[in-house]
Amino acid sequence: MKFIITIAFMVITMVCPAQINDKIQQFVDLELSYCPEASLLDLYKNYFQDAYGPGHFISQPLFQLLYSAFQL
């Protein structure tokens, strides 16, 4: 899995300025130090929620409440 993450970010680094590349690499290194089994999708979700917050995920609070209760 780390191989796929490495390849994905290698492609990103080819099209991004160096300063952004450093920030992306720092983010990936930090997240993988906390959770080494994280997938590329996990990293994407984490980054997206950091940027936009969790509000977009819960467009219908009642449905989310019922779903959460069902999961428990």
- Maximum Cα interatomic distance, the chain, rounded to a whole number of Å: 46
pLDDT of residue 33: 93
Show the domain range for 46: 2-71
For residues 21, 26, 29, 32, the Cα torsion angle rounded to the nearest 10 degrees is -100
Task: Kindly state the average pLDDT of the residues 30-57.
Answer: 80
Task: Kindly state the average pLDDT of the residues 34-49.
Answer: 85
Q: What amino acid occupies position 63?
A: F
Domain count, the chain: 1
Give the residue from 38, 43, 33 showing the smallest Cα distance to 9.
43
pLDDT of residue 22: 82
6 pLDDT above the threshold of 80: no
Measured between alpha carbons, how far is 60 from 24 in angstroms, rounded to an integer? 32
19 pLDDT above the threshold of 80: no
- Grade residue 15 by pLDDT with cuts at 50, 70 and 90: low
37 pLDDT above the threshold of 80: yes
